[in-house]
Amino acid sequence: MKDIPDKVDIVIPVKTKENIKNEFIESVYKEIPVNKLIIIEGGALSTARKKAYEMVSTEWFVFLDDDILIGKDWWKTMTSHIDDDTGAIGGMIAQMHPHLGPYTETVWMFRNPSKLGNPGINNCLMRKEVLKGYNPPKIFWGEDQVLYQYVTKKWKWKKVRVNGFHYIKMHNMIQLGYIYNKLKLYPKRWVVRRFFQIPFVSLFVAIKCHSLKTAFWLASHYLEFLVGWTKGLYS
């Protein structure tokens, strides 16, 4: 029988506490057996996640971003994937964005979320033990991939579909691509493959969601990331 935690600490890294909405807090207490709410304010996200190790008092804890709204059975779904070899379980959650949302849903029709690059750190159930010795660079973007690479050296990181919504704030994709290159988060073969996939993926998503605007947005989104990634090769 699985050892399901009775209670867990909740870690919420935020720029400022004023950004936290009552609806978000209500969803947390409704869906998760909360032991302690830990709000880490300001600073780099990588630093905030490192602080969690020192502040968490439960064997398992939850990382939540304040732009997430978890839905019905979130806890039941996440804990059903606990086993002895698993160190983290990331939630694959619906995107509340007019273009990214349709793209994500289309991709999930053909690819299991567990095979995708997004680790789901914004709503993630994690063992406290996996952060032992974690000492990341001070970064604001790409810190989820850095943490993912650290954990998966020794532990499984599962990715599962869960109910809820992500009210995503889009980054500057050129800057994001540049940072990902400098941190060596994606291999060159992944970037090259994405480049050749752009026209096919964009067209398919346009057909699926009946929106050329979404197709153009997606293509420009990819291209901006690739421009930034390439820029990182020569600087």
**In the predicted model, is pLDDT for residue 1 greater than 50?**
no
180 and 228 belong to one structural domain: yes
115 and 190 belong to one structural domain: no
CATH number at residue 122: 3.90.550.10
| pLDDT in the model for residue 85 | 95
On whether residue 1 sits in a domain, the answer given is no
pLDDT tens-place string over residues 15-73: 888 889 999 999 999 999 999 999 999 888 899 889 888 899 999 999 999 999 999 99
On whether residue 53 sits in a domain, the answer given is yes
Of 74-78, 139-143, 200-204, the range with the lowest mean pLDDT is 200-204
Find the domain containing 200 and state its range: 173-233
43 and 80 belong to one structural domain: yes
181 and 128 belong to one structural domain: no
181 and 149 belong to one structural domain: no
The last residue of one of the domains, among 116, 149, 166, is 166
Of 232 and 89, the structure prediction assigns the larger pLDDT to: 89
pLDDT tens-place string over residues 129-177: 999 999 998 988 889 999 999 999 999 999 999 999 998 877 789 998 9
Of 66 and 111, the structure prediction assigns the larger pLDDT to: 66
The last residue of one of the domains, among 166, 185, 217, is 166
What type of residue sits at position 207? I
71 and 184 belong to one structural domain: no
83 and 151 belong to one structural domain: yes
Identify which of 131, 16, 119 has the alpha carbon closest to the alpha carbon of residue 66.
Answer: 16
| pLDDT in the model for residue 18 | 86
- Considering the chain, what is the average pLDDT of its residues? 89
Radius of gyration, alpha carbons of the chain = 18
106 and 157 belong to one structural domain: yes
108 and 53 belong to one structural domain: yes
On whether residue 216 sits in a domain, the answer given is yes
92 and 161 belong to one structural domain: yes
The last residue of one of the domains, among 140, 166, 192, is 166
